Structure 1
Amino acid sequence: MRITYILFLFTIISFAQSKNEFEIYNEFEQKAMLQFKDKEYEKALLNFQNAINLKPSENVTIYFYAVAAALNIGKLEKAKELIIASIHKTNASKSYFLNFEEFNNFRDQSMFAEIEKDYEKHISIFYKELEHPKIYREIDSLIKIDQKVRKNDSDRYKIMQIDSSNVKRLIEITKQYGWQSKGWLILWHQRGTYGQDNYVWNFFKPYINEQIQKGKIKKSFWTMFEEEQSIIKNKEQIYGLYFNYFDQYPIKDIEYVDKRRTENGLTPLWYMEKVYGVKLPTNYIKL
């Protein structure tokens, strides 16, 4: 009996070790979100906390749902601790904090006013704990330039100049400091040439793929790029990422869409319906 138990335990440990951190993180996150929707707040809080412990700087939304779970079971000190940690670790925006719907029934709690009052102090701690705060701020400045030119200038040539300048700088930063997640928008604006033989993709494709293999970047990183390319070329979706355009851009081989999604680090479409209220395509069948 003891030998059987040891073999079983070894199998479980080996299986867990075959997954990278992001895959384990995603499992905790998805389980927690389903439990939250089922109002199993104690269980949800535990799994949200497991995800946070694994990757503390990954996702502010996970923190906020963990806070909501704690609030629903009366763990006010835990809720306050998680809100503060979300600011220190993810730079949670003040507007998101003030408008997160799951907090609405609890905003009479004094912690919300206290945290709002000290918000800038908490943000300053986030910057103090960054390994490369100047680079973080530089990426922010590149994004501001990106958005400004799109808002104030319709000159396509000028937009292309800014995009080219930004992505060249992003390559330099990535070579020296590693991938900066906020740089995604800068890379996204190169999607028109995605996968082509040019200096952008000759650098980023192998680099990002290597980071995905190492578990440093999510497996789903390229799915939006692939989806956009498929829509432009074939007028159809691969993964069903454009939820409001299922009629205009149907999902190819929809019977396999959840298989494609899970293989590429995305949740099944039925999960998106349950957790986020996504309206599913009429021909979708949950397997």
Structure 2
Amino acid sequence: MLKKAIIVIFILCCNINQKDFINYDRCVWNGMLAYKREDFSKSLKFFQKAFEIIPDENPSDYFYAAAAALKLKQNTVAEELIVNSILNTNASKDYFNSFSEFNEFRKTKTLQDIEKKYDSLKELFLNKSNNRFLNDELNKLRAKDQKVRKKGDKTLMRYTDSININRLINITKEYGWQKKGWIILWHQRGTYEDDDNYVWKYFKPYINEQIREGKIRKDFWAIFEEEISILSKKKQLYGFYFRQFKSFPIIDIEGVDERRKKIGRPPLWYLNEVYGVELPETYKTNNSKTIPLD
């Protein structure tokens, strides 16, 4: 089992484009809908199809797929999925231990075996290429970022943010964009509209080029746009702040699903069905609550 999974991580190197992201997401969204509707067989098939498209995107997707397999008593399949989540996406042990859908299966041999070999599987991921170096470097930046915010010293925070963003620029120049660096960039959002700022002079053209090449999702800047809309208009464009619909209502709510579609996000009703989000009273959907695969 482990040998098979180890082989997977070393052969999974593929060129991704925006169409792959679209097809992957549609499979995952349908997988999540089927899971919440307790059609676990259908859910598992959708997730497995998604992993054929992009094998190293999101640990959460692997975990839900594994949970579906466990519900179906396909423990061998579940083990493979969890192993691949570690080897392909660097799924953290803390997340594995806190993932609530696994709770009813914690005492099974499958999850106990995974628990025992989790650290060794993590080492296999870290030993690949520059993974260990990048993981360590980005964890240091994130740790500094959070530590200074807990202290509440704004002067020290600005200084640390400056040091961190400069390091992130250097890492990106040498190794490309790293998802773990997002929070460091997010904490520069106060100057997002200043195109003369050195941070955005570097990151905007770089990220835009990566989006055009299909290496980064096209919704990358959407949360920044949402933030600007809230600050300037007290209203949301996409509904990212779903716990604050009353404080920050959605602009032109009739068109929100179309706007979300353009940036590669599921319709608003999906948030309600999958995550139980309470939607605005003015939101209406005329579709059958299905997501087409093409």
Q: Which aligned pairs between 1:136-215 and structure 2 lie closer than 5 A?
A: 136-151=135-150, 153-197=151-195, 198-215=197-214
Alignment check: 8 A CA contact 1:22 1:216 kept? no
1:84 aligns with 2:75: no
Higher helix share: 1
- How far 1:50 sits from its partner (Å)? 1.8
Tell me, yes or no, if the aligned pair for 2:260 and 2:267 is still in contact at 8 Å: yes
State the shift of 1:135 in Å: 2.4
Asked whether the 8 Å contact 1:273–1:280 carries over to 2, the reply is yes
User: Cα 1:204–1:243, aligned 2, differ >3 Å: closer, same or farther?
Assistant: same
- Cα deviation code 1:82-106 (max 9, x no counterpart): 1111112222122221221211222
Matched residues in 2 for 1:92 and 1:132: separation? 13
* Higher relative contact order (Cα pairs below 8 Å, separated by 6+ residues): 2
> Can you list the C-alpha shifts for 1:187-208, whole angstroms capped at 9, x where unaligned?
0000111131211111111111
1:47, distance to aligned residue in structure 2 (A): 1.6
TM-score (norm 1): 0.90
CA distance in 2, matches of 1:279, 1:234: 22
Partner of 2:69: 70
Who wins on radius of gyration, i.e. which is larger?
Answer: 1
Unaligned runs of 5+ in 1: 1-16
Q: Taking structure 1 as reference, are residues 216 and 133 closer, same or farther at Cα in structure 2, changes over 3 Å only?
A: same
Cα separation, partners in 2 of 1:45 and 1:281, compared to 1, 3 Å: same
Amino acid at match of 1:43: K
**Alpha-carbon distance in structure 1 between the residues aligned to 2:174 and 2:214:** 19
Q: In 1, are the aligned partners of 2:17 and 2:214 still within 8 Å (CA)?
A: no
- Structure 1 residues 132 and 98, CA gap change in structure 2 (3 angstroms): closer
Alignment-mate amino acid for residue 56 of structure 1: P
Match of 1:58, SS?
Answer: coil
Q: Is the 8 A contact 1:20 1:214 kept in 2?
A: no
- Displacement of 1:178 after TM fit? 0.6
Deviation readout 1:214-269 (Å, 9 max, x if unpaired):
11111111111111111111111111111111111111111111110111111111
Change over 3 Å in CA distance of 1:109–1:132 after alignment to 2: closer
SS of aligned partner of 2:194: coil
Identity rate, percent: 49
Aligned equivalent of 2:4? none
- Answer whether contact 1:227 1:241 (CA < 8 A) is retained: yes
For residues 33 and 131 of structure 1, the distance between their equivalents in structure 2, rounded to whole angstroms, comes to 32
Structure 2 match to 1:4: none
**Any gaps of 5 or more consecutive residues in structure 2?**
1-15, 287-294
- How far, CA to CA, are the matches of 1:40 and 1:207 in structure 2? 42
Question: Does residue 46 of structure 2 align to residue 47 of structure 1?
Answer: yes
Q: Give me the CA root mean square deviation.
A: 1.6
Look up the equivalent residue of 1:239 and give its one-letter code.
Answer: Y
Aligned position for 1:14: none
Distance in structure 2 (CA, Å) of the matches to 1:159 and 1:138: 19
